[in-house]
Amino acid sequence: MKILVQSTGLDIVPGIITELKKHQPDWQYFAWPSDEQCDYVVGWKPPAALFARQPKLRAVINYGAGVDAILAMGAVPAHIPIIRLEDAGMAQQMAEYAIYGVIHHQRNMRIYRAQQRDKHWQQHEDRGNVRRPTVGVMGLGEMGGTVATRLAAFGYSVRGWSRSKHEIDDVLTFAGHDTLPSFLSGCDVLVSMLPLTESTRGLINATTLAYLPRGAFLVNAGRGGHLVDADVIAALESGQLGGALLDVFHEEPLPKDHPYWLHPNVIVTPHIAATTPIKDACAQIVAKVSAIERGEVVSGIVDPNVGY
C-alpha cells in the first residue's frame, strides 16, 4: 500500500508519516510532491496538480473534520471519494471551548477582567437567583453532538439544531430551517458547530440574530463564513448580542484592521477550538484505509452535493 501525505499551509507532513508508520509499518509513505503512484492521499487542501500526477488514487483522506476548503478548491476528481476525520480527539476540545464561552458569559468574566485592570472590587452575581443560561448548539454531528451532551451533563438547559432530527438525552432538539426561529428564541448562548455549505453560509445574520433573546452570547467554532460580520458587529453595538467568542473567520489570519480584534465584547482565538491530534487522527486514518481494503464501507464519506 502506498500513501501520499500532503499539506497546504501547515508543516505536518513528516509528523504524520512518522505516526502512520507506527500504526502500519508495512505500508510505504511518500511526501507530496512525489510522482510515486500512490493508492491513497492523506491531505489538507490538496492542489489540482496532485490529482493530475496521481491517477491511481482510490480515496482522499481529509486531514481534518471540515471539508469546505477541499470542496471549494474543486480539485478532487468526481470518482475519488473524500473521507473526513470524525471526532479523532477534536470533539472533547470543542466541548471545552464551548463550555469556556458559556462560563465566560454566565459568570460575568468580561466585567471582572475590566475591573481588575482598574483594581476595582465589585460583585455582579445575583446571589439569590443564580441563573444558568440555556445553550443552543447549531450542528449536532461529531462536534456539536458531543458539545450538547457535555453541556447537558454540566447541568445546562441545552437545545440543539440540525438538518435531520436527532434524539439526544436531556437535549431539546429541532430540525430544519423552519424551526430556526423557535430554536433561536430560547438560546441565551448560541454555539455554532456547523459545517460551511451553501445552506449555512451567512446563516448568522441580522435576521437570525434578532430571534435570540436580547444580550445573548455567540460562540462560533464552525467556520467564519457562517457569520455576516457587519450584522454581528451591529448586534454587538446595539446590545442584541452581549458578546462573542470567535475562533474562525472569513479570512485567516484575521486581518489586523478587523473590528473584532479591538471590540471589548469579543474574544478572538486563532482557529484553535479543536486542533487535530496527530495520534488519534493517524490511528483513524489507518483504520479507515484498512477497512476499505477489506471491502468494508467506512463512515465519514463526504457528500459533495450536500457539502459535508
Binding mask 58-87 for ligand NDP (x = CB under 6 A): -------xx---------------------
247 binds ligand NDP (CB under 6 A): yes
Judged by DSSP in three states, 6 sits in strand
Torsion over CA: 15, 282, 98, 259 (sign): positive
Choosing from 53, 58, 250, 271, the catalytic residue is 271
Figure out which of the listed residues 158, 276, 281, 308 binds ligand OXD, where binding follows CB under 6 A. 276
Cell numbers standing for residue 93: 476540545
Concerning whether 120 is annotated as a catalytic residue, the answer is: no
Stretch that binds ligand OXD, among 21-29, 63-71, 155-163, 295-303 (CB under 6 A): 63-71
Stretch that binds ligand OXD, among 64-72, 104-112, 167-175, 253-261 (CB under 6 A): 64-72
**Cα 136 from chain centroid (whole Å):** 15
Concerning whether 223 is annotated as a catalytic residue, the answer is: yes
Figure out which of the listed residues 43, 64, 141, 224 binds ligand OXD, where binding follows CB under 6 A. 64
Number of CB atoms found within 10 A of residue 230's CB: 11
Q: 62 contacts which partner out of ligand NDP, ligand OXD, none, CB within 5 to 8 A by kind?
A: none
Of residues 173 and 276, the one with the C-beta less far from ligand OXD: 276
284 binds ligand NDP (CB under 6 A): no
Residue 148, burial from CB neighbour count under 10 angstroms (0-12, 13-18, 19+): buried
The angle subtended at Cα 17 by Cα 12 and Cα 20, nearest 5°, is: 120
Considering only CA atoms, give the Rg of the chain: 21
Q: Which residues contact 47 (CB under 8 A, 6 or more apart)?
A: 8, 73, 75
Choosing from 84, 104, 105, 223, the catalytic residue is 223
List residues with catalytic annotation.
Answer: 223, 271
Q: Which residues of this chain interact with ligand OXD, rule CB under 6 A? A: 64-66, 276
